[in-house]
Structure 1
Amino acid sequence: MKKLLTLTALAAATALALSGCASASTDAGATDDPTNESGVRIVASTNVYGDIAEQIGGDRVSVTSIIDSPDKDPHEYEADARTQLSLSKAQLVIENGGGYDDFVDTMLSAADNKIAPVLNAADISGYDEEPAEGEFNEHMWYDFPTVQKLSDELVNQLSAIDPEGAETYEKNAETFDSQLAALEQQEKDIKASFDQTGVAITEPVPLYMLEAAGLVNKTPDAFSEAIEEGTDVPADVLKQTQELFSSGQVKALVYNEQTAGAQTELVLKAAKDAGVPVVPVTETLPDGTDYVSWMTTNLNALQGALSGK
């Protein structure tokens, strides 16, 4: 499912970006030109990282998020002229890494932006990106220790770019970090009540959160890997997954709403038929919320499902 940027699309976007540069002075103005905004110019691969950057940067930054809606699939993104132009002028870039948003590096190469520092969450995490067993879980924003490290790096990089704002960045980070600590405490509270409780997933998206909460993923690896890669789930694996609910092995299904399909719908039906609560999650930030509120909602939903509320 991880579809890299095509050379044709990239070339077209680059040409359009150059055209956009030429016409910026005669078009509508600042709102039509992402490079015309005030503050440190940050480009983030998704609105998750864009929101985190805004939390730390406040009104001293202007942020462009490439994937800015749950309706857009990060795995299938193709370049457009506006994004290409934003990246070419970025002073700081934030990407997830780990193979999740390779289009950012591809577009940076085309933009020939060799100056802007790039914060890669997977690298910042310190986790082994080539584990001896299993596959690397690249969904770093569900891992609060990694987000904490990213917050620290944002303060460092923004303070280097904009020294006059250093105190602001540090204060904003203190507030954000205290909110992260509250989220981690909620994970510990769930673990205290439900340690080693079985749950099912459709994709590995929320696994860092589930593991931190002491929950055990009972889903066959072959199921979640097939769904993530957009391939068919073998019939016997689908049956094993459906039986998790009828046999009472799991107390909740954590369901990625952004990759619903025929086989995930069958699993969803099996959960509902067995009376197993469903906790919906997404990969990108829902409209009208921020990172901390979003994660609080996810944890509240998980805690409520496990408690039977």
Structure 2
Amino acid sequence: MSIVASTNVYGSIAAEVAGDHADVTSIIESPEQDPHSFEASARVQLELSRADVVVDNGGGYDDFMGRLLTGTGNDGAVVISAVDVSGLAPDQVAANEHVWYDLDVVRRVASSLADALERLDPPHASDYRSNLERFDASITRLQGEVSTIADDHAGESVMVTEPVPLYLLESAGFVNATPDELSTAVENGNGVPPAVLERALALLEDHSVSLFVYNEQTAGPETTQLRAAAKLAGVPTVGVTETITDGQGYVEWMGSVIRAIGQALS
């Protein structure tokens, strides 16, 4: 079988569940590729035309997937969108579509994948179920690490340059103290209004936040200035990414993010 995922995050999850019984292709694998402005090659269109299962984020993050799949005429593929199976309210997704930073959502995506693969390939149903159980156990371990952070830091404030990691941070009990105009401007690639930047800098300088988290893939003058201010003020600082780096799997990658947060705060 063929599984095509919008990013290597979902490609990794699919590979964990499918094991050796499917070929998994991730369309976006590099931090330099922006899903909001992605332009498909002929290879990508060919992969989608042959896909048995398609996995994407949804919620406006990777809209190119739906357009491309429609263009290929492949109306037989099973489409699993993380937002659709997330159980999150529409207003939550509208505020933050980066649902792969929510471990419960990732668990739901993996379960939906296993269900789909069992229907498409009944002879290997037990393998898919076993793979899902192993993956699910790994997610449970990660949630345990998040709970450990929450035990010591729940209720503390965090500032983020973008909402990318907020689901994870909120599950660890952090309260988002980021000025809305700041994260919106950075996410949209716009300049941060000077008054908003000054307000954010003041929050860092007077230690009103316990943690500063920035998106490594969207560095700009304002985020660089904020990061420098956080370090100067002694505010723990952690960088995150939207896609998996260094050839890791999802569990290893997300585990490294969680541990980086814990170590920064220790």
Could you say whether these structures have the same fold, taking a TM-score greater than 0.5 normalized by the shorter chain as the test?
yes
Please give the range of the TM-score, normalised by the shorter of the 2 chains: over 0.9
Matching residue of 2:100:
141
- The answer to whether 1:120 aligns with 2:77 is no
Q: Work out whether 1:98 is the aligned partner of 2:40.
A: no
TM-fit CA distance, 1:170? 0.4
Q: CA–CA distance in 2 between the matches of 1:136 and 1:274? A: 29
Alignment match, 2:220: 261
Q: 1:121-270, aligned counterparts within 5 Å?
A: 121-130=82-91, 135-270=94-229
Report what 1:52 is aligned to: 13
In the TM superposition, residue 144 of structure 1 has moved relative to its aligned partner by 0.6
Tell which deviates more after alignment, 207-216 or 121-130.
Answer: 121-130
The CA deviation at 1:59 is 0.7
| Equivalent residue letter for 2:168 | M
CA RMSD, Structure 1 to Structure 2 (Å): 1.1
Distance in 1 (alpha carbons) for counterparts of 2:18 and 2:95: 30
TM-score (norm 1): 0.84
Moved over 2 A (4+): none
Q: Report the Cα distance in structure 2 between the residues aligned to 1:89 and 1:81, rounded to whole angstroms.
A: 13
Aligned to 2:249: 290
Structure 1 counterpart SS, 2:58: coil
Equivalent-residue separation in structure 2 for 1:164 and 1:212 (angstroms) = 38
Q: Which has the larger radius of gyration?
A: 1
- Aligned mate of 1:80, from 41, 45, 64: 41
> What is the deviation of 1:71?
2.0
Deviation at 1:70, TM superposition (A): 1.5
Alpha carbons 1:69, 1:287 under 8 Å: kept: no
Correspondence for 1:107: 68
Task: Give the 3-state SS of the residue equivalent to 2:95 in structure 1.
Answer: coil
Q: Which residue of 2 aligns with 1:12?
A: none
| Runs of at least 5 residues in structure 2 that lack an aligned partner in the other structure | none
1:187-207 Cα shifts (integer Å, max 9, x gaps) = 111111111111110000000
Task: Assess if the C-alpha contact under 8 Å between 2:59 and 2:94 holds in 1.
Answer: no
Describe the SS at the equivalent of 1:118: strand
Match of 1:31 in 2: none
TM score, norm. by length of structure 2: 0.98
Letter in 1 for 2:251: V
SS at structure 1 position matched to 2:192 = coil
How far is the alpha carbon of 1:130 from its aligned partner?
3.5
**Number of matched pairs:** 266
Any stretches of 5+ residues in structure 1 without a counterpart?
Answer: 1-39
Deviation, 1:242, is 1.0
Structure 2 residue matching 1:187: 3-state secondary structure: helix
* In structure 2, distance between residues paired with 1:272 and 1:185: 28
Q: Which amino acid aligns with 2:147?
A: K
Kept in 2: contact 1:199–1:253 (CA 8 A): yes
Provide the C-alpha distance between the structure 1 equivalents of 2:123 and 2:264, rounded to a whole number of angstroms. 46
Q: How far 1:136 moved relative to its partner?
A: 2.7
> Distance between the aligned counterparts of 2:115 and 2:91, measured in 1?
27
Compute the displacement of 1:82 (Å): 0.3
Percent of matched pairs sharing the same residue:
47
Q: Aligned partners of 1:244 and 1:47: how far apart in 2? A: 35
The CA distance in 2 between the partners of 1:252 and 1:76, in whole Å, is: 30
Alpha-carbon distance in structure 1 between the residues aligned to 2:77 and 2:91: 27
State the 1:287 CA deviation. Answer: 2.2
CA contact (8 A) 1:98 1:136 kept: no
CA distance in 1, matches of 2:31, 2:202: 30
